[in-house]
Structure formats: structure tokens, C-alpha cells
Amino acid sequence: MQVILRQAFPLGRFHATPWGASAFDDPYGEWPPSPFRLVRAIVARFHQLARERGEAAEALEDLVRALVTCEVRYHLPPTASRGPAVRQYLPDIDIRWNPAGLKDQAKGAMKVSKRFLAQDNCIAVPPDGAIYWFLDGPNWTDARLALLDACLARITYFGRAEAITDIDRVVERPSGIDVNCELTDRRERGAVPVLCACRDMTAAMASDEAALHGSTVPPGAVWRFAVRPPKPAPRRAAITRRYERTQLIQFALGASVEPPMEAIATITGRFRGRVLREALTALNDGALTRWNDASPGLRARIAGLAGKDAAGLPLEGNAHASYLVWCDGRRLTRLFVYRARPFEPWEQDAMRRAAEAPLEWSQTESEGWTVRMVPLDSAVPPPSGFDGILSRTWSSVTPFVPARYSFDRRGRDKKGEMPQDQIVEELARRGWPPAEVAAIDDAGWVRVHAPKRRVGGATNNARRSFHVRLTFAKPVVGPLLLGHSSFFGLGLFKPCD
């Protein structure tokens, strides 16, 4: 005959420590609940029942015999997980009796107070989840089932006193509730020990505190093993988001180790790679994530994010996204993506998904330094230079790197290739009005963006950079990006009128 018990925890927490274990040694707590604990709880509630209506001791022995001869199986809530542990100091009062056996302190009794640190571990059980016990045994009768129901109705906690519980017997197995945890005699990989009652256990063994105290295996108990059910695979929550027509997507940057200015192109380049992978995943349901494996049609769809067409050639007219960084002094505070054409909703989703995980900016794997990105909404104003304000004077936000080398192999200046000359030439080529290079200062070495087809070849990713100040003959409107890797965060200018 099969008896099914349903046990719920209204507060969502099951507090219990495995037998013989310290709460500090076993931070997970007991899971699944042990059958030995269930038998002891039922025996304790029988004594309460006996005081209420005078039940005979023979009835308890019959009930215990029916319980310990059952094969126990479980249905555990798959979403149950380790809950947060609570550590607190509790009072421990030791009353030393006087010779007269009186607790009156005035007559010679001594009271010693101290405190000890306790750790309370728990299993977080979802409010809509419950444990189902499947007890299969041959010794059940109507009288024993009625006595079992009366004892279960009097169980108010299970394990520690904080583990408030409701436990009762159900007549039929609910739909969708199947056994997902069984007990075995041999320990398998990933199994945990569970204390079970032996078939010859008696009610006296369950309540003999002197024999139970300090025992590794209590009298009438035996260790068996259980493999906990696997947790369900996490699913991305469906988010209802309002999409706005925007040319600018912004993220705040934060890191335990602040990335230097030299890492700007590394951060933007790796973020762009993530954006492309997320875009491809969304457009073909995860069938592929690499641009090289994509069809010409898919490549054309993400060209506005990639900056290259289906053949891998750069887009003309700067019609693609620029991955940029804003700096406060030498501190990188914001990453943003700008494009003259507004971003589509699926493009915005790809950028937000790409920002969910920390981004590594260090060059070596041993360092493992990362930066986190937090999406900013439209209430955050755009960076200076992207707000449509006119200005005659513009200065560097991020270092400017000349597109071509300014010095030959002997360190001599190349005629017409100095940074000032390249700035004037690039402004004319991009259709900007003439400007005077009012100031130019050395900004040290920075890493520039290098396509993967060039990485590992005869190329040097470290280049000299400069802080530049430009003055136009008449006010102009931004954004203003110049130089090498200007679409990857370098050579960004801001108005300073």
C-alpha cells in the first residue's frame, strides 16, 4: 500500500542540520529531509496525542512498525536551492543547583550566563512548491492511518523551530507529481547521505535521548544515499521593453580595477564582437554565432553593427555604428554606441544582452580584469558633442592616433605625415570645414584596434597618441571622430566653447 504525504513550508525555508554535522561544516543543510527525522517527529506528536485523549502505547509501536517497514521515495521541488545562512549569538544560561535543589538565587543557587555563535542554514523552498513523501509498505491499516493523520496534524515545525511546516496525507497523487529522488544503499557520484530508520527500529529508540546524544549513527538508524534532482535550466525572462527611435545607446562603466586609457580600443572591440554574436543568435535562433559562418543575407542585415558589408569590405559613408568611450579625466565612465541611422529594436536588444556579463579588458588571461556595463535610459543626457550644439573649439576626450606613421625607421619626421598634417587632410577628406590645430600634446602609447586577419602578423597594436585642440573658422556640430580606430573609441572630440 502506498501512503503519500504532502509537506509544505509556508515561510519558504526548511532549517535542518544533518545528523552529527556542524552547521559550520555543512552550509547546505539537510536535503532531502531524512526519514529518521520524520519518524521522530511523529513519535513526539504521539506523546502529545496521548496526553490529549489517552492513546495506548501499543498503538504507537504499530504505527512505528508501519513507518519503518516502508520504502521511502520523494518528489522534491526542482527549484529548491540553498538559502542564505544566518549567524547570530544566542544566550546559553547554565543554572548550577544548590544543595537543597532550589533555583532561588537568594538561597545559594548560582546562574552562569554566556553566549555562543550559531549558524542557521536553510533550504529555500518556493511557496508554490511542496515535498511529497511516497511511503510504500505492507503494514498499513485504517486504524494506523487514522493515528498517522492525528499525529501529522500536530506537527507545527520540522527540524529547527524556525522551519514552520504543514504536513498531511493525500489520498491520490496529484497530476504532474512524480518521484524524482530515491534512496539507495550504495553511494553514487553526486549522492548525499540521508539518515533512515531501520526495519527493527522501535518507538523507544526514537525517544531515548541518552542513547541518541553524541552518537554517530543513532540506535535504530542507518545511512543511505540520495541523488538530488537536477535544477531546471535557467530561462531568460521575458521583458516587455519600450523601444525608442534612438541613435545612441549608453552604458555606465564600473570595475574593481579601473581600465587605463590604453585599453579603450580593447574594450570597444570586444564589446562589438559580443554585439555581433548576440545579433546573429537572435536572427537565426542560435544556429550560429560567428560572422564568418553567416550567410551573405545575414551579414547584410548586421552590416550596420559590424561596419562591413557581406563581402567583408568597409561600409562607405560612415553608415555603421561607432563603439565609443567617454572619459572623465583619465577615468573611463561610459561606453556608448552611436549611429546616424536609428537602431532597430532587435539591434538594441543585442547590445543590451551583450552588456549583461562582465567584459574582460586585460591583455593576459592571468590578470582577468573585467569591466561591468549598466544600461542607461533616455533620461541620461547624451555626451557632449552628440547633443547638436554648435561650437568652434573642440578638444580631445580620448587620445588621437594618426592613421599613418609620422616617423620613419630612423625616427625622422616624414614630410607631410606629421599628426597636424594628417588631421588637416582627414578633415578635408570627410567634408569638414578647415580648422587650425591650436594645440597638440603627447598622450603616450595606446593600443589600437586590429582586425583579426591582421592579429599575429607583422603589425604593432601600440601606437603614439596625442591630445589635440582644434579651432574652426565657424561653429560646427558634432560628433567629431578623427584618426586611427576612431570608430572604436579613440580620437573622440568634445566642444569646449
Based on C-alpha coordinates, what's the Rg of the chain? 36
Edge-to-edge order in the sheet of strand 322-328: 322-328, 331-338, 248-254, 370-376, 359-360
Separation of alpha carbons 469 and 452, rounded Å? 32
- Collapsing DSSP to helix, strand or coil, 494 comes out as strand
Predicted local confidence at residue 236, as pLDDT: 63
419-443 as b/e: b if 16+ CB within 10 A: bebbbbebbeeeeeeebebeebeeb
Residue 28 burial (C-beta neighbours within 10 Å; 0-12, 13-18, 19+): middle
Predicted local confidence at residue 113, as pLDDT: 57
- Collapsing DSSP to helix, strand or coil, 410 comes out as coil
Separation of alpha carbons 356 and 164, rounded Å? 38
Separation of alpha carbons 451 and 493, rounded Å? 24
Predicted local confidence at residue 162, as pLDDT: 82
- Collapsing DSSP to helix, strand or coil, 373 comes out as strand
Chain-centroid distance, C-alpha 270: 21
Contact status, residue 320 vs residue 306, Cβ threshold 8 Å: yes
- Of the candidates 157, 129, 172, 155, the residue with the CA atom closest to the CA atom of residue 4: 172
467-491 as b/e: b if 16+ CB within 10 A: bbbbebeeebebbbbbbbbbbbbbb
Separation of alpha carbons 388 and 481, rounded Å? 15
**Residues forming a β-bridge with 375:** 251
- Of the candidates 84, 87, 76, 177, the residue with the CA atom closest to the CA atom of residue 126: 76
Predicted local confidence at residue 264, as pLDDT: 93
Cα–Cα separations (whole angstroms), residue 365 to 125, 361, 369, 443:
39, 10, 9, 27
- Of the candidates 24, 25, 29, 5, the residue with the CA atom closest to the CA atom of residue 192: 29
Contact status, residue 248 vs residue 338, Cβ threshold 8 Å: yes
Separation of alpha carbons 83 and 120, rounded Å? 10
Separation of alpha carbons 369 and 26, rounded Å? 32
- Collapsing DSSP to helix, strand or coil, 291 comes out as helix
Q: What is the mean pLDDT of each run of 10 residues along the chain (497 residues)?
A: 92 85 74 92 91 84 92 91 78 55 49 69 85 92 92 91 90 88 89 90 75 75 90 68 85 90 92 93 81 86 89 81 91 93 92 93 74 90 91 94 83 84 91 90 88 55 90 92 92 90
H-only helix segments in 247-315: 264-283, 296-301, 303-306
First to last CA, the chain: 88
Instruction: Report the DSSP pairing between strands 110-120 and 359-360.
Output: unpaired
Separation of alpha carbons 281 and 75, rounded Å? 36
Task: Give, as one character, the DSSP assignment of residue 154.
Answer: T
- Collapsing DSSP to helix, strand or coil, 207 comes out as helix
Cα–Cα separations (whole angstroms), residue 57 to 46, 50, 60, 64, 151:
9, 8, 5, 11, 14
Predicted local confidence at residue 478, as pLDDT: 87
Separation of alpha carbons 490 and 447, rounded Å? 10
Contact status, residue 434 vs residue 424, Cβ threshold 8 Å: yes
How many contiguous H segments (helices) and E segments (strands) does the chain have?
10, 22
Q: Omega into 375 within 30° of 0, i.e. cis?
A: no
Is the C-alpha dihedral spanning 455, 458, 459, 460 positive or negative? Answer: positive
